[in-house]
Amino acid sequence: METEFGVWSVVIAVLGGAIRVGTPFIFVSLGECLTEKSGRINLGLEGNLVMGAMVAYATSYYSGSAWLGVLAAGASGLVLGLIHALLCQSPKVNDIALGIALMLFGTGLAFFLGKPFIQPQAPRLPSLELGAWSDSPVIAAALNINALFFVGVAAVFLVHWLLQHARFGLRLRVVGESANAALALGIQVNRVRLMATMAGGFLASVGGSYLSLYYPGSWSEGLSSGQGLMAVVLVIFARWNPVHCLYASLLFGGAAALGPALQSVGVTSGYYLFNAAPYVLTLAIMIYTSSARRKLAGMPAEFTQ
């Protein structure tokens, strides 16, 4: 590869990669954040992500509209979220185990239904070429930003505003902090959690549509590298704050882009270790910030039960 910037090309590639690789992280972590704020954990967003990717690609292929694909992906996420929320209404059903089950179900169903779409080309999502002013292909590539990224950023601030100021957001937080207090206020706990889980599922599946419709940009069974599972980790990293979810997603996207960026300038050894960097980082942060005696700062209190 042309190294007109030397080491800087790695930095630029990582910054561009932070946005390109980090965009699906924004959606899944925001979705998980919303669900967890209501006091429930959905470990199955990986299923939503893969399902969303398949549905988006298939819809885009048949309809010719990538944006319709994004919406269809979201709808599939609503359904998976609905299943999770309905079954978890009973305290007898374990929400973590059900998340793993729905993850296996979602990915299995997506692989099954997605078989015919591995070959054909579907219309992709448009991107904004913000780097058109530059003659350098490195900068132009880094600033070629997909429209869905801006949708994701908008969604982050919308959810943040919703949680801070809107009536529904306040109710959702009460449910997450104390189901008993919410009941005393006459809030229907299960209904709020149902809506939060469905909305979370919607967002996660939209994140999946980015994978198949923009980057890597086609449907295949190896499409996801566990971004959906990382959602749970990102939310802990972001301390249940939607805006911090955005920063965390970009950071993890950048970390994930580091391996390929180094590979492109000839540093090939340790590729897999660089890929593991986000996981090691998260584990270290969890160990450092956790305590056996108190809950994590920012964690919804209902969550510890």
Partner 1 sequence: MGKPVETVIITVAALLASALLVALFIAFTGNNPLDVFYTIYRGAFGSSFSWQNTLVRAAPLMLAALCTVIPARLGLIVIGGEGAIVVGGLTAALTGIALSDSGPWIVIPAMLIVGMLAGGVLVGTAGALKYYRGVNETISSLLLNYISIAVLMFLVVGPLKDPATLNKPSTFSIGDANMLGSIGDSSVHWGLAFGVATCVLLWFVVRHTTAGFAGDVVGGNARAAKLVGLPVGPLVVAACAVGGAAAAIAGVIEVAAVHGRANGSLNAGYGYAGILVAFLARQNPLAVIPFAILLGGIRASGGLLQRVHDLPDATVLVIQGIIFVTILASDLFYGRFQWRPAVVPASVATPTTTQPAQ
Residues in contact with partner 1 by CB under 8 A are 39, 43, 83, 87, 89-94, 96-98, 100-102, 104-109, 111-112, 115, 179-180, 182-183, 189-190, 221, 226, 229, 232-233, 236, 269-273, 275-276, 279-280, 282-283, 286-287, 290-294, 302, 305
Cis peptide before 260 (omega within 30 of 0): no
Find the shortest distance in angstroms from Cβ 294 to partner 1: 8
Nearer to partner 1, 142 or 251 (CB): 251
What's the distance, CA 262 to chain centroid?
Answer: 25
Nearer to partner 1, 6 or 91 (CB): 91
Contact 35, 42 (CB under 8 A): yes
Contact 142, 261 (CB under 8 A): no
Find the shortest distance in angstroms from Cβ 299 to partner 1: 10
Q: How many CA atoms lie within 13 A of 37 on its CB side?
A: 30
Residue burial 96-107, b: 16+ Cβ < 10 Å; e: rest:
eebbebbbebbb
Nearer to partner 1, 19 or 234 (CB): 234
What are the distances in angstroms from CA 300 to CA 94, 111, 175?
Answer: 18, 35, 9
Nearer to partner 1, 11 or 100 (CB): 100
Find the shortest distance in angstroms from Cβ 5 to partner 1: 27
Find the shortest distance in angstroms from Cβ 175 to partner 1: 10
What's the distance, CA 40 to chain centroid?
Answer: 17
Find the shortest distance in angstroms from Cβ 286 to partner 1: 5
Nearer to partner 1, 59 or 107 (CB): 107
Find the shortest distance in angstroms from Cβ 267 to partner 1: 12
Nearer to partner 1, 145 or 281 (CB): 281
Name 31's Cβ contacts closer than 8 Å, sequence gap at least 6. Answer: 45, 48, 77, 199, 200, 201, 202, 203, 204, 207, 231
Question: What is the distance between the alpha carbons of residues 95 and 77, in angstroms, rounded to a whole number?
Answer: 17
Written as six digits, the tokens of 46 are: 């990986």
Nearer to partner 1, 30 or 236 (CB): 236
Find the shortest distance in angstroms from Cβ 232 to partner 1: 6
